[in-house]
């Protein structure tokens, strides 16, 4: 199919048929993802397929499980890398983590719980793990004195399998400081392997932020998060869904807990009354407690 073809219109009925098929097969509900994004991604798949129109594309999904998988992969955009938006991670390293540990000490609380929602291949939550290891080392404190629970969740199980392996191409580690790269990765045959010390800190599990069945990662059991990162995921949803998810995250946080959103995401409306904005550039918020 020609690549310079104009994007054909897709009517609501056909789109709804597609959403119903995805829901039936995978249990995912794409009906509240931004329509324009869905249409663009769908068009890309159509161009790469053997069929000419959406009606036949939906039929194709019935007989081609691989194409169905590729569609899901394209709809759940997994662009990420270690220390994405480095200033955010500087803010976490030098403001949020020190404040959090100070509060933990003051309250004689040794449990730290952090969740990355929509973690892609684990780059974000592993970056936080590295920051914690680094913090305890710089402060000459024993990390073993704390029980640290780090969760990475994503809707896409195949992404989580990759996350668990902890093996990354060079593009994923371009923002990693040299001292972290030397200390926490092993380079072999063009790939970067995360050291076990970092990998074993994180638990990955499948979790759909839209699902009303669980508002928190299943293996997290209780909420009580000290820090939640939900970056570059809300942008794919309509405003009412963003609000619903942000409220869930609010309830999953401890009073005084931190929420980090993506660069193009913000709190809005009455949600702004529930948090203090600590730094607008890094989109770091703190739950009022
Ligand atoms: C662009 S990536 C963001 C990765 C990382 N948070 C970052 O900012 O670099 C968006 C991730 O959200 C995941 N995702 C999409 N819909 C989701 C949903 N309903 N529940 C959980 N994760 C979802 C995608 O699979 C993808 O891994």
The CA–CA distances, whole Å, from 235 to 12, 193, 222, 256 equal 21, 30, 27, 25
Indicate if 194 and 162 belong to the same structural domain: yes
Is the pLDDT confidence value at 18 over 60? yes
Written as six digits, the tokens of 277 are: 């904005």
Indicate if 38 and 116 belong to the same structural domain: no
Q: Which residues of 5-36 are buried (b: 16+ CB within 10 A; e: fewer)?
A: eeeeebeeebbeebbeebeeebebbbbbbeee
Q: Which of 6-20, 114-128, 216-230, 275-289 has the lowest mean pLDDT?
A: 216-230
Confidence of residue 289 (pLDDT cuts 50, 70, 90): confident
Q: Is 118 in the pocket of ligand 1 (CB under 6 A)?
A: yes
Indicate if 131 and 256 belong to the same structural domain: yes
Indicate if 27 and 129 belong to the same structural domain: no
**Ligand 1: residue whose CA is nearest its atom 25:** 76
Residue 170 lies in a domain: yes
Q: Is 122 in the pocket of ligand 1 (CB under 6 A)?
A: no
Residue 43 lies in a domain: yes
Indicate if 97 and 67 belong to the same structural domain: no
Summarised one tens digit per residue, pLDDT across range 260-287 is 999 999 999 999 999 999 999 999 999 9
Average pLDDT over residues 187-212: 95
Q: Is 155 in the pocket of ligand 1 (CB under 6 A)?
A: yes
Name the residue range of residue 228's domain.
86-287
Q: How many percent of the chain have pLDDT more than 90?
A: 86
Residue 2 lies in a domain: no
Is the pLDDT confidence value at 213 over 80? no
Summarised one tens digit per residue, pLDDT across range 142-155 is 999 999 999 999 99
Domain final residue pick, 75, 94, 117: 75
Domain final residue pick, 40, 56, 75: 75
Residue 165 lies in a domain: yes
Cα gap 153→231, rounded to integer Å: 12
Cα gap 287→289, rounded to integer Å: 6
Own/partner contacts of 33-41, CB < 8 Å, gap of 24 or more, are 33/75, 33/236, 33/237, 33/238, 34/235, 34/236, 34/237, 34/238, 37/236, 38/75, 39/7, 39/10, 39/15, 40/7, 41/71, 41/74, 41/75, 41/77
Confidence of residue 211 (pLDDT cuts 50, 70, 90): confident
Indicate if 157 and 206 belong to the same structural domain: yes
Domain final residue pick, 53, 75, 97: 75
Residue 7 lies in a domain: no
Indicate if 113 and 168 belong to the same structural domain: yes
Number of domains making up the chain: 2
Indicate if 146 and 281 belong to the same structural domain: yes
Indicate if 50 and 124 belong to the same structural domain: no
Q: How far is the CA of 9 from the centre of ligand 1 (A)?
A: 27
For the domain that residue 25 is a member of, what is the CATH number?
Answer: 1.10.155.10
Cα gap 222→203, rounded to integer Å: 15
The conformation of residue 284, written as its DSSP 8-state character, comes to E
- Cβ atoms < 10 Å from Cβ of 52: 12
Q: How far is residue 121 CA from its own chain's centroid?
A: 9
Indicate if 107 and 227 belong to the same structural domain: yes
The pTM score is: 0.93
Q: Is 265 in the pocket of ligand 1 (CB under 6 A)?
A: no
**Ligand 1: residue whose CA is nearest its atom 17:** 155
Instruction: Locate the ligand 1 atom nearest the alpha carbon of residue 209 and give its number.
Output: 20
Residue 6 lies in a domain: no
The CA–CA distances, whole Å, from 204 to 118, 125, 154 equal 11, 10, 8
- Dihedral sign (CA 24, 240, 75, 13): positive
**Ligand 1: residue whose CA is nearest its atom 15:** 76
Query: Shortest CA distance to 263 belongs to which of 286, 288, 247, 284?
Result: 284
Residue 46 lies in a domain: yes
User: What pLDDT score was predicted for residue 40?
Assistant: 92
Summarised one tens digit per residue, pLDDT across range 49-107 is 989 889 999 999 999 999 999 999 999 989 999 999 999 999 999 999 999 999 999 99
Indicate if 283 and 142 belong to the same structural domain: yes
Indicate if 186 and 247 belong to the same structural domain: yes
Average pLDDT over residues 105-113: 97
Q: Which of 34-48, 80-94, 252-266 has the lowest mean pLDDT?
A: 34-48
For the domain that residue 150 is a member of, what is the CATH number?
Answer: 3.40.50.150
Residue 183 lies in a domain: yes
């Amino acid at each position: 199919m020609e690549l310079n073809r104009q994007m054909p219109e897709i009517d609501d009925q056909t789109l709804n048929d597609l959403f119903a098929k995805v829901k039936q097969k995978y249990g995912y509900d794409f009906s509240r993802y931004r329509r324009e994004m869905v249409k663009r991604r769908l068009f890309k798949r159509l161009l790469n397929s053997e069929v000419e129109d959406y009606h036949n594309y939906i039929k194709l999904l019935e007989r081609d499980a691989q194409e169905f998988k590729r569609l899901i992969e394209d709809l759940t955009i997994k662009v990420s890398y270690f220390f994405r938006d480095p200033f955010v991670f500087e803010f976490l390293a030098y403001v949020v983590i020190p404040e959090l540990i100070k509060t933990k000490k003051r309250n004689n609380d040794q449990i730290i719980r952090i969740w990355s929602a929509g973690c892609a291949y684990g780059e974000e939550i592993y970056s936080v793990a590295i920051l914690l290891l680094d913090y305890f080392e710089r402060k000459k404190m024993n990390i073993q004195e704390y029980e640290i629970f780090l969760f990475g969740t994503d809707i896409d199980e195949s992404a989580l399998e990759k996350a668990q392996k902890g093996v990354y191409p060079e593009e994923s580690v371009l923002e990693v400081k040299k001292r972290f790269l030397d200390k926490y990765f092993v380079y072999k045959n063009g790939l970067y392997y995360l050291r076990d010390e970092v990998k074993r800190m994180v638990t990955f599990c499948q979790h759909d932020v839209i699902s009303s069945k669980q508002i928190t990662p299943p293996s997290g059991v209780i909420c009580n998060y000290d820090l939640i990162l939900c970056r570059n995921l809300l942008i794919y949803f309509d405003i009412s869904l963003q609000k619903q998810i942000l409220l869930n995250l609010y309830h999953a946080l401890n009073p005084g807990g931190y929420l980090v959103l993506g660069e193009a995401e913000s709190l809005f409306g009455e949600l702004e009354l529930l948090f203090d904005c600590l730094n607008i550039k890094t989109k770091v918020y703190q739950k009022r407690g």
